[in-house]
Amino acid sequence: MTQTGRARYRKAVKGSSFIKVNSINYDAFYHRTGTTYSPSEATVGPWSSDAQHGGPPAALITKSFEEFEPRENTRIVRIAIEILRPIPLGRTEIKVSVLRPGRKIELLGSQMFVDDKLVMTAQAWRMRSSIDLTEDIGSEPAPLPPTLEPEAMTSDEVFFPYADSIDWCYVEGGFDFLGSSTVWSRPKIPLVAGEPTSPLARLLLMADSANGVSSVLPFNQWTFVPVDLCISIYRYPKGEWLAMRAETLIGPDGVGTTRATLFDNQSSVGSSIHTLFVEPH
């Protein structure tokens, strides 16, 4: 972030509800004990020190879908998440079930409980993916964002724990910029301690930030929180760094939509959409 950007950020968050923290080294977003998870402070979002950012819970639900009764030559192709309330830091449990069975196409459902309270639900389509078409078919994929040598957005300033736990490399726009932006990201820590983080889980970890990446209203004056997240993935992502090109639109009655195109280092892989609740502080 530029010096001008830092000054504008400090001015924007002065007196707001943004959390200012000292840099802390976390080893993971979650720790698993049996069938439950304990969130670390790395999951904390910008609005409250008692609430998680939506990205880590969304990624954890994605991980639960991928681990549920895996079958050869199938993959998750769509995930729709409903965020029912602020997600506190507490004992987390996820229950996954089959809502619509099928050999070629099946619908999975998931519920996330924190301290026995339901905080998030999700559905995921899992489909057979064994056909080899050798190349994409249809419309020309969205152009790949510039792939600059990545530098962490938060290298010398800490915003809030979730943001500080991920490397961000803006190639269009920026955190201090109002309007659409494009950013590459890579988590600094695993989703769950001692366990690999799949590319799809990393994609969800990033995609839930689309409304912040493409904010069109000042953080210190407005709240614009997503109530859902829906992603559709036509190609399974690959690689360590993933990107999104995001834009936010807000109607005259204060209801917003954030749309994002999602990328790996080869091409676009899918898209996401948020519905936003918007109100002044």
DSSP assignment of the chain = --HHHHHHHHHHHTTSS---------S-SEEEETTEEEE-GGGB-SS-TTBB-SHHHHHHHHHHHHHSS--TTEEEEEEEEEE-S--BSS-EEEEEEEEE--SSEEEEEEEEEETTEEEEEEEEEEEE-----SS--SSPPPPPPP-PPP--TTSS----HHHHTEEEEEEES-TT--S-EEEEEEESS-SBTTS---HHHHHHHHHTTHHHHT--S-TTTEEEEESEEEEEESS---SS-EEEEEEEEE-TTSEEEEEEEEE-SSSEEEEEEEEEEEEE-
β-partners of residue 228 are: 82
What is the structure's pLDDT at 82? 98
The predicted pLDDT at position 13 comes to 39
Whether domain 3-134+145-280 has CATH 3.40.50.150: the reply is no
Which residues of the chain have a pLDDT value below 50? 1-22, 150, 152, 154-156
Give the pLDDT confidence score for residue 173 in this predicted structure. Answer: 86
Write down the pLDDT at residue 11.
Answer: 38
In this prediction, residue 143 carries a pLDDT of 72
pLDDT of residue 16: 40
- pLDDT tens per residue across span 126-144: 999 876 655 655 555 667 7
Domain coordinates in residue numbering, the chain: 3-134+145-280
Which one-letter amino acid corresponds to residue 140? E
